[in-house]
Amino acid sequence: MFKAIFTNSFGILFSRVLGFFRDLLTASALGANIYSDIFFIAFKLPNLFRRIFAEGAFTQVFIPAFARSRHKAVFSVHIFLVFFSIIGLITLLVNVAPQLFTKAIATGFDAHTIALASPFVAVNFWYLPLIFSVTFLSAMLQYRHHFATSAFSTALLNLSLIGALYLSHDKSQSQIVYYLSFGVVIGGILQLCVHLFAIYKLGLAKLLFGGFKYLHVKSKSIKKETKKFRANFFPAVWGNSTAQVSAFLDTFLASFLATGSISYLYYANRIFQLPLALFAIATSIALFPRIARYLKNNDETKALANLEKAFWFLAFLLTGSTIGGIILSHEIIWLLFQRGAFDAADTANTSAVLQMYMLGLLPFGIQKLFVLWLYAKEMQKEAAKIATISLIVYISFALAFISPFGVAGLALASSIGGFVSLFFTIKIFGAQHFFAILRSKYLIYLAIGSILLTILLLFLKDFISAYI
């Protein structure tokens, strides 16, 4: 299990380091203004669809269904064609009426800004069918216990965007956004190519070709399997969507605030997502097939043992990251972004948003671990109910906090939603199982370590502040 976790973590780390370098260059080239807001809006919409429909929900439902299927080739190709057709249609609609979709995600923009942003939204949306294809192939690879290609492939997107920034360094800000938008599409093509190569090397290409060949002949034989897949998929979509819908609403509400607010959310969220992806997501990806297999074989003892190991692994890493992110938020933003068009005021505003996001790191990360139990037991409807409650709480607090706290209040509302989601997930998982995990010597170690780390980082903050 830990070998797969470290493979995922190292790949994610490599990709995120490149991502931070990309953001550093983006902040230097665009700063936090109308053009940076436009690009992040344009890139956010396909990413929202990708995270809701493609990554979490699709993988968590597809892998168990694919494992149970008696006609794996035909089943997988059928699912791919259905989803690709829907996503392709959405992409075409966005390109036909980009202003309509831009207005939907950034209602606070005036007509002139929407007119400026809509061409970029249309270009960026071509990333969606590409990245769905990547997600589908990634799920096939995960079934074969191959994680490296998917973990490292995001680096290709970042390299493409870095190349776009390099080529556009002497261009106007509008032209830079055009270069970045086409860089997104090129990055998606590169990701798809490496996944196709991995599929070929692992011998899965024959399976897919066979699925296309016999799809029409055997389509009736997979009718029950596809019906069950659909029944589980849509609750899984909603169960996976809370954080993404919250991020969408963050952007929607931030568009009513001062110029640059969307960019503050973006830069802060990028830092928040690093430990979340590096530790929580990497762990959940590696753990899910194992937990699902144990529960399928009615071996709950081994499933709980693996879950407990992963819990303490995440608890230490995420707690340390939370403390560090809150105490050193200003120093982190200053180090990474304050240069070029990104000034001290941008640093202060982004730092405040980061602190509010970091409050939710531990609950969001731990919830991703325990929700695996629900999906492995095919409790997608229960997960969807939790997501609904969490989203309602987030919306309520976001509307309450946006006036007194501004853009930082939106991040705080998101973190509160994370705590609510964790609470109800543990309730369904079983409070007695959860407290059995907590009754460990590691809890004492965690408390002592947190206190010592807090003291150390406060001293470090004072030392660094003297040089800023």
User: Are 22 and 161 in contact, with CB atoms under 8 Å apart?
Assistant: yes
Over residues 9-55, the pLDDT tens digits come to 777 778 778 877 887 788 777 776 777 777 877 777 667 666 665 55
Is the pLDDT score of 152 beyond 80? Answer: yes
Is the pLDDT score of 142 beyond 90? Answer: no
Q: What is the pLDDT of residue 293?
A: 73
Over residues 179-197, the pLDDT tens digits come to 999 999 999 999 999 999 9
Residues with Cβ within 8 Å of residue 39, at least 6 apart in sequence: 26, 30, 120, 177, 180, 181
User: Are 161 and 180 in contact, with CB atoms under 8 Å apart?
Assistant: yes
Q: What is the average pLDDT across 88-104?
A: 87
Written as six digits, the tokens of 57 are 């929900």
**Does the CA dihedral 391-394-400-401 come out positive or negative?**
negative
Angle among Cα 129, 283, 154 to the nearest 5 degrees reads: 35
pTM of the model: 0.72
The alpha-carbon radius of gyration of the chain (Å, integer) is 22
Is the pLDDT score of 205 beyond 70? Answer: yes
CA–CA separation, 411 vs 74, rounded Å?
44
Q: What is the pLDDT of residue 314?
A: 93
Is the pLDDT score of 63 beyond 90? Answer: no
In the numeric block, the tokens 């493609």 are attached to 54
CA–CA separation, 148 vs 300, rounded Å?
29
Is the pLDDT score of 109 beyond 80? Answer: no
In the numeric block, the tokens 């929580």 are attached to 280
Is the pLDDT score of 362 beyond 70? Answer: yes
- Where does the pLDDT of residue 313 fall: very low under 50, low under 70, confident under 90, or very high at 90 and above? very high
Q: What is the pLDDT of residue 50?
A: 63
Written as six digits, the tokens of 428 are 């369904």
Q: What is the pLDDT of residue 14?
A: 82
DSSP reduced 3-state for 157: helix
Residues with Cβ within 8 Å of residue 116, at least 6 apart in sequence: 34, 38, 174
**Percent of the residues in the chain that have a pLDDT greater than 90, as a whole number:** 33
Higher pLDDT, 102 or 324: 324
Residue 399, judged by CB atoms within 10 A of its CB (0-12, 13-18, 19+), counts as middle
Q: For residue 53, how far is the Cα from the chain centroid? A: 12
Largest CA distance in the chain: 73
CA–CA separation, 388 vs 407, rounded Å?
23
User: Are 235 and 61 in contact, with CB atoms under 8 Å apart?
Assistant: no
Lowest-pLDDT range, 133-142, 221-230, 344-353? 221-230
**Percent of the residues in the chain that have a pLDDT greater than 70, as a whole number:** 93
